């Protein structure tokens, strides 16, 4: 049974799909509407927001008071490689920052179609290079997960642990119609438009579809997602590998990127706790319980 309020949340996401996540809406308008819709995203108590610039790459920082100087979390946002910003994962990222007294670096990577592949991968690689002297955890959702994994597979500075939310890992996949009807946020048309904008002409190579590559050598990885996510088959394909360093957890009745809605969807708190448990077990970081949620 779905948690109370999930029907209302589904309805709100369906409105966002019509207004923002639609192949009929120009990219500039999608970006502007998305920025307006996410501008009020909450930040966990005790975390301060700032900015960073590592040469060409830049983004926002989420730094708790008394943060350990050697701990960093690199967050790579989703948005089909074409829209979005670190704001979309701010609730989850700031909660993890407060939990582990670690500074989060939310990368504002270059977007397609103005900057197609491998621009996002190059920006992830540059960010990891600047953080290489710290112990880094990789956190990413949707398309950001694809860019992060692709960068790591291509030789970027390694991370200690990976947490992927509703990852988009195969841009050449055919989408399930029945599953598309259950996901209130994503559509096959919009994903197709994003794939063309980011990687037109070559969508099967490991730099844009890292699901098609071997993940040997990657850090221990947790994937969280919903069973009603149009991209759930990517997570299912990972689970089928039987790799002991890969753990996939799915929640019934939940949609794409539900885990980012901390403070709004009860199951998002469960997903955040699962991510924190994974990070703590792999890195040895001891949690400092935040009070924000």
Over range 85-109, report the average pLDDT.
Answer: 97
User: Would you kindly state where each structural domain of the chain is located, as residue ranges?
Assistant: 6-283
The answer on pLDDT for 293 being more than 90 is: no
Q: What is the reported pTM?
A: 0.96
Instruction: Please say whether the beta carbons of 109 and 171 come within 8 A.
Output: no
Separation CA 285–CA 280 (nearest Å): 5
Give me the torsion for CA of 139, 140, 141, 145, rounded to 10°.
-130
Strands, DSSP E only, in 232-280?
246-251
Four-way CATH pick for 6-283: 1.10.3210.10, 3.40.50.1820, 1.10.10.10, 3.90.1300.10:
3.40.50.1820
Q: For the segment 156-178, what is each residue's pLDDT rounded down to a tens digit?
A: 999 999 999 999 999 999 998 99
Q: What pLDDT does residue 9 have?
A: 87
Separation CA 293–CA 263 (nearest Å): 6
The answer on pLDDT for 267 being more than 60 is: yes
Strands, DSSP E only, in the chain?
47-54, 57-64, 71-76, 103-107, 135-141, 161-165, 221-226, 246-251
Closest CA to 191 of 227, 231, 223, 226: 231
Q: What is the rounded average pLDDT for all residues in the chain? A: 94
């Amino acid at each position: 049974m779905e948690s109370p309020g999930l029907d209302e949340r589904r309805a709100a996401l369906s409105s966002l799909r019509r207004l923002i996540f639609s192949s009929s809406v120009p990219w500039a308008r999608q970006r502007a509407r998305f920025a307006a819709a996410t501008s009020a995203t909450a930040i966990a108590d005790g975390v301060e927001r700032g900015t960073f610039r590592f040469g060409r790459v830049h983004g926002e920082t989420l730094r708790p008071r008394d943060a350990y100087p050697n701990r960093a979390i690199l967050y790579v946002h989703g948005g089909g490689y074409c829209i979005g910003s670190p704001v979309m994962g701010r609730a989850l990222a700031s909660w993890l920052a407060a939990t582990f007294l670690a500074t989060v670096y939310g990368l504002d990577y270059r977007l397609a179609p103005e900057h197609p592949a491998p621009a996002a991968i190059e920006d992830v690689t540059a960010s990891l290079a600047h953080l290489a002297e710290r112990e880094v955890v990789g956190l990413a959702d949707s398309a950001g997960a694809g860019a992060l994994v692709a960068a790591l597979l291509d030789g970027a500075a390694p991370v200690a642990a990976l947490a992927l939310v509703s990852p988009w890992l195969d841009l050449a996949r055919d989408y399930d119609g029945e599953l598309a009807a259950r996901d209130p946020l994503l559509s096959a048309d919009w994903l197709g438009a994003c794939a063309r904008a980011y990687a037109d002409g070559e969508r099967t190579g490991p730099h844009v579809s890292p699901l098609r590559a071997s993940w040997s050598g990657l850090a221990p990885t947790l994937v969280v997602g919903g069973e009603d996510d149009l991209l759930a088959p990517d997570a299912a394909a990972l689970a089928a590998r039987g790799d002991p360093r890969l753990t996939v957890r799915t929640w019934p009745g939940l949609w794409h990127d539900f885990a980012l809605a901390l403070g709004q969807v009860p199951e998002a708190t469960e997903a955040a706790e699962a991510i924190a448990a994974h990070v703590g077990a792999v890195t040895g970081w001891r949690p400092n319980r935040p009070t924000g949620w």
